[in-house]
Structure 1
């Protein structure tokens, strides 16, 4: 298991990123269909939180098996790992956060999910024609991507992982300081009404799992891709920081 993963550039099609999924894979598939996602050439990158809250969390294993789907480990995947491995966990909180489907599974089925969740990196970087794009679930504890990369590869500091998966500080502070070493850093975790950019950090959890909508970001152009009136994909510029 590597807590940091590098992904080579896509020479065939588009690389799209999406915010938190939270067990709404059918709704996500409909969104992908609307923008003409082609699994033969395109790839989809998730900022984590594949499960909990929605009705189809069990489909996470199917999606993780698809060669064009890549994800980082979100805090909800981490909760499942903690539960199965006997770590400290508030079970009432976990169930209230949508983890009941997992808690109610037989242990051998829980183990199948945790085995896959453990394979997910805390952070990954994707090469594009214009430079690296990084993905985390919540936020970077460093203002330099290289420092985060080195920490995850060599230090395995629990405090670093906690910020990566749980922090909401950047949004709370309105921090527009960039994370150097990447063109853009894509995150989720904290729902926003519309995709939001602070510095070069792009917050993509627009509540597609709740009453909002999934935001798909083209990682090459850093533009949102949304269904147009005629059903074709239409690029939309991101709002300013």
Structure 2
């Protein structure tokens, strides 16, 4: 069956339950829908392990396209023992402890600290090496007739954007979203939270680019961009917390 709808979601960051609810909200049907996930499945949120497991199932069973994000790359490099000292410091400063904790499980009593990273590597590789291989092999972009999907963006200074560096695909910010796209297609991206682009977590429509990171792991929301017949038709939103919890006591972001 030909797929008639594309759904793009980015920056899950361990928010596995929100992703499940968002897919339900969208009425996701693998037979008709092309799901494109724009990276950053780990760190910050409480369930990185569950998020990666869910993404793997979506790729294998539902034909989803999963791209790599900068947090995924850094997690892989830490667990493979390839991270240099600055990467390791950034990993623990930007939600890495939460990712490791989700893999070690609730019975792991010790505090997650950088000094014990070798122990964490061994434990994670002994139980979940397939997760690391999966994240390590993810592609950097996906392209269809009307859109380019990428985690962070495209470097406008590179004439042939497919030849840009891995660091551009995964880390670029202002140099991309503050300048015109030269790729001839609209770029759908995550990485930079929408609230930083227009002071709200809703999808940001920037003409030749669309930012969809709703900042779920920061307490905002997870966004899904729906595309039908080559045009954006709708946006679905899943709050970072359930309605009952929001009503009981809203937390400042």
Structure 1 215/38 Cα, relative in aligned 2: closer, same or farther at 3 Å?
same
| Local SS of the residue matching 1:219 | strand
Query: Does structure 2 retain, via aligned residues, the 8 Å contact 1:17–1:47?
Result: yes
Whether 1:63 and 2:55 are equivalent positions in the alignment is yes
Once the two structures are superposed, residues 120-159 of structure 1 have per-residue CA deviations (whole angstroms, 9 ceiling, x without a partner) of 111111x3xxx23111111111467x8122x26xxxxxxx
Once the two structures are superposed, residues 160-209 of structure 1 have per-residue CA deviations (whole angstroms, 9 ceiling, x without a partner) of 111211111147x733x133232x21111111222112231111101123
Q: Of residues 172, 175, 178 in structure 2, which corresponds to 1:174?
A: 178
Greater Rg, structure 1 or structure 2?
A: 2
Query: How much does 1:56 deviate?
Result: 1.5
Aligned to 1:133: 147
Whether 1:29 and 2:20 are equivalent positions in the alignment is yes
Q: Of residues 183, 188, 191 in structure 1, which corresponds to 2:190?
A: 188
Let me know the Cα RMSD of the aligned residues. 2.4
Paired with 1:165 and 1:140, the residues of 2 have a C-alpha distance of 9
Greater share of residues in helix: 2
TM-score by length of 1: 0.74
Aligned to 2:161: 148
Structure 1 56/142 Cα, relative in aligned 2: closer, same or farther at 3 Å?
same
Aligned residues: 202
Once the two structures are superposed, residues 32-68 of structure 1 have per-residue CA deviations (whole angstroms, 9 ceiling, x without a partner) of 2122222332232111101111111112133223233
Query: Does structure 1 retain, via aligned residues, the 8 Å contact 2:74–2:83?
Result: no
Once the two structures are superposed, residues 44-97 of structure 1 have per-residue CA deviations (whole angstroms, 9 ceiling, x without a partner) of 211110111111111213322323322111001110222214231433321221
Paired with 2:28 and 2:128, the residues of 1 have a C-alpha distance of 31
Long gaps (5+) in structure 2:
101-116, 195-199, 238-253
Aligned to 1:74: 69
| Local SS of the residue matching 1:214 | strand
